[in-house]
């Protein structure tokens, strides 16, 4: 009752208007024959079972046509080399081209995925032996036994891509750091010296780090050593 009154009133209504509305709402609870005869009832166009059935069939036809088109054009997609050796993929079934950066990680690895073969043993995924298989997020597909037992649940192709990118980024950063100074120092001494200094600024990004190192150049080599150690540990995981 309270919710019905709220739907038909506003915060600006006077007490008299609220009282009148409440009486009308209460009366309509039992005396609804007048409204049923003369008031046009709002009804959703798609509430009818026939309309819902029609929409369901249209959706089924659309999905069947889409996935049928994908199935018929399996293996027809191609790799296109654009300007500056930029690699893009032409997706025939969807009728558009896409950059490899927008594709799963497996398309950036040295071993391009095969849609019908295991990317480890290179045997057919559907080989009639009843072996279960999986396609993981990067796009590579494996027999379950190959992925869980032989690869220890890791995609080595994509792991190498990530390691190479991390190594490249860290090397680039260390190269920038090495230009600031050539003397050796200790990272611990750098931290202690920073605590004793009057620099209370927060180092929130790479530019802030470079600014601090420019003021204290003796700390640079130890920072470089720390990054090298951290990189080594990550790559040996």
Q: What is the DSSP string of 130-145?
A: ---EEE-TTS-EEEHH
Cα–Cα distances in angstroms (integers) from residue 56 to residues 50, 61, 64, 110, in the given order: 10, 9, 12, 43
Pairing of strands 133-135, 96-99: unpaired
pLDDT in tens, the chain (237 residues): 666 677 767 777 787 877 887 777 776 666 666 666 666 665 655 556 677 888 889 999 999 988 888 888 877 877 777 676 677 888 887 788 888 888 888 888 888 887 788 999 888 888 777 788 999 999 899 999 899 999 999 999 999 989 888 888 888 888 777 766 555 455 555 555 555 554 444 444 455 555 666 666 666 666 667 667 766 666 665
pLDDT in tens, 157-173: 999 989 888 888 888 88
What is the residue extent of each domain of the chain?
2-38, 74-103, 180-235
With residue 80 as reference, give the H or E element that holds it. strand 78-81
Q: Which two tokens stand for residue 159?
A: 């792991």
């Amino acid at each position: 009752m309270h919710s019905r009154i709220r739907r038909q009133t506003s915060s600006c209504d006077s007490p008299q208007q609220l009282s009148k509305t409440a009486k009308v709402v209460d009366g309509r609870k039992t005396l609804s024959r007048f409204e049923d005869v003369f008031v046009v009832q709002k009804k959703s166009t798609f509430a009818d079972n026939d309309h819902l059935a029609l929409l369901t069939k249209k959706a089924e036809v659309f999905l069947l046509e889409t996935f049928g088109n994908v199935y018929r054009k399996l293996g027809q997609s191609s790799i296109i080399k654009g300007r500056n050796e930029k690699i893009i993929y032409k997706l025939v079934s969807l009728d558009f081209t896409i950059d490899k950066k927008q594709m799963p990680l497996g398309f950036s690895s040295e071993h391009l995925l095969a849609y019908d073969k295991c990317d480890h043993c290179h045997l057919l995924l559907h080989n009639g032996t009843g072996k279960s298989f999986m396609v993981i997020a990067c796009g590579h597909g494996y027999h379950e036994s190959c992925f869980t037992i032989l690869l220890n649940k890791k995609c080595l192709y994509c792991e190498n891509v990530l390691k190479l990118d991390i190594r490249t980024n860290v090397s680039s950063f260390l190269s920038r750091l090495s230009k600031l100074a050539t003397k050796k120092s200790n990272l611990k001494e750098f931290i202690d010296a920073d605590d004793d200094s009057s620099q209370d600024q927060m180092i929130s990004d790479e530019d802030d780090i470079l600014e601090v190192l420019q003021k204290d150049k003796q700390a640079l080599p130890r920072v470089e050593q720390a990054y090298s150690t951290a990189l080594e540990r990550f790559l040996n995981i």
